[in-house]
């Protein structure tokens, strides 16, 4: 939309649109100014016949990506006889179009298109677009790179949120810059609440403050980690910090106390089966339990099958219910 508004000041038109066209699949995305055209049924139909568009045919045949008008290729009568005019442009009042390409492959094209209700585009306007085109192509490539980077970062963040440990990124002032959902849940269960969502709980803040700096290198707390006991287990906190880096990563990991996990052995379970069932009561998936215990997901599933058989139940929920009766008893 920003690009469409910008171009309207350079080459005024009744409508200016950014188009992504997948010729092979007959798909099309349009962002236009005015925005009413985005949802026009005629524009949506254009995707099905885009391979018949004279400007698309010209680009695909010649590889020319410069600014071109429909009136360069077809007479008025010839344009009126075309399918794209009869089925689309006649209905939206377009008698001529000038477009230039931002990106092109044999299967797809991304382009800017300007529509007018009469054949009035000038050579000066064409020259202006051709002068702008290299800069707009670079903007397009930058946007592609940024989008790809954002998608990768989003994927990494999704993976981080699924880890069986909690992660906190702390800045030099001791404030939380990033926290996974699991880290937030662990802090709620094991620690006193902080003053605000970006503040560390007091016990973590005090522990981090004991980190010493010598000759530009951070030295971790002599204990190496912080261990906090809870009602049904313990919380291990480890810090990861590169020398000279102003940010610290805290890794939070919940572990059952031996007494807690092994108390489930009264149900007739082995030591490993007791550990598996304990983590099931904590809502962990088979994959997460496998990561925590350092085993294969299939092995965890086998343990669960034996647990179900020993407890006489058929589901994780029922097995967890039996375990919680013991843990809370």
Q: What is the pLDDT of residues 243-267, one digit of tens each?
A: 556 788 899 988 876 667 788 889 9
| The pLDDT value given to residue 161 | 81
What structural domains does the chain harbor? Answer: 2-157 (3.30.450.80), 163-255 (3.30.450.20), 258-327 (1.10.10.10)
| The pLDDT value given to residue 214 | 43
pTM comes to 0.59
**Secondary structure of 30-85 as H, E, C letters:** EEEECHHHHHCHHHHHHHHHHHHCHHHHHHHHHCCCCCEEHHHHCCHHHHHHCHHH
Nearby residues of 305 by Cβ (< 8 Å), 6 or more positions away: none
Q: Which of 7, 191, 231, 234 is nearest to 113 (CA)?
A: 7
Reported as half-sphere exposure (CB side, CA atoms, 13 A), residue 43 has a value of 24
| The pLDDT value given to residue 112 | 95
Residue 42 CA to residue 215 CA, distance in Å, equals: 69
Least confident stretch, 63-72, 120-129, 243-252: 243-252
The torsion region of residue 174 among left (phi > 0), alpha (psi -120 to 50) and beta comes to left
| The pLDDT value given to residue 13 | 95
Residue 18 CA to residue 33 CA, distance in Å, equals: 9
Reported as half-sphere exposure (CB side, CA atoms, 13 A), residue 95 has a value of 9
3-state secondary structure of 214: strand
Q: What is the crossing angle of helices 271-281 and 286-293, to 10°?
A: 130
């Amino acid at each position: 939309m920003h690009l469409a508004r910008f171009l309207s000041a350079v080459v005024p038109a009744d409508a200016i649109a950014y188009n992504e066209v997948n010729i092979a699949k007959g798909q099309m995305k349009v962002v236009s100014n005015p925005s009413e055209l985005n949802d026009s049924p005629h524009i949506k139909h254009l995707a099905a016949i885009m391979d018949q568009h004279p400007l698309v045919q010209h680009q695909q045949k010649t590889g020319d990506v410069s600014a071109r008008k429909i009136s360069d290729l077809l007479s008025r009568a010839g344009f009126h006889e075309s399918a794209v005019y009869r089925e689309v442009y006649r209905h939206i009042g377009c008698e001529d179009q000038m477009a230039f390409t931002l990106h092109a492959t044999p299967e797809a094209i991304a382009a800017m298109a300007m529509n007018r209700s009469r054949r009035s585009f000038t050579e000066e306007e064409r020259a202006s677009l051709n002068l702008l085109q290299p800069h707009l192509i670079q903007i397009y490539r930058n946007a592609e790179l940024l989008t790809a980077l954002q998608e990768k970062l989003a994927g990494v963040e999704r993976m981080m949120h699924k880890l069986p440990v909690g992660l906190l990124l702390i800045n030099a002032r001791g404030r939380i810059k990033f926290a996974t959902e699991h880290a937030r849940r662990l802090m709620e269960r094991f620690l006193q609440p902080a003053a605000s969502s970006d503040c560390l709980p007091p016990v973590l803040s005090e522990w981090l403050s004991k980190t010493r700096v010598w000759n530009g290198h951070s030295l971790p707390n002599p204990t190496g980690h912080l261990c906090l006991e809870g009602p049904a287990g313990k919380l291990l906190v480890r810090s990861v910090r590169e020398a000279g880096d102003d940010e610290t990563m805290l890794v939070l990991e919940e572990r059952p106390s031996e007494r807690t996990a092994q108390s489930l052995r009264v149900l007739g379970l082995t030591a490993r089966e007791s550990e598996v069932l304990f983590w099931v009561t904590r809502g962990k998936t088979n994959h997460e339990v496998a990561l925590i215990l350092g085993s294969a997901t299939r092995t965890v599933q086998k343990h669960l099958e034996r647990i179900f058989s020993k407890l006489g139940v058929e589901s994780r929920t029922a097995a967890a219910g039996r375990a919680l009766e013991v843990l809370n008893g």
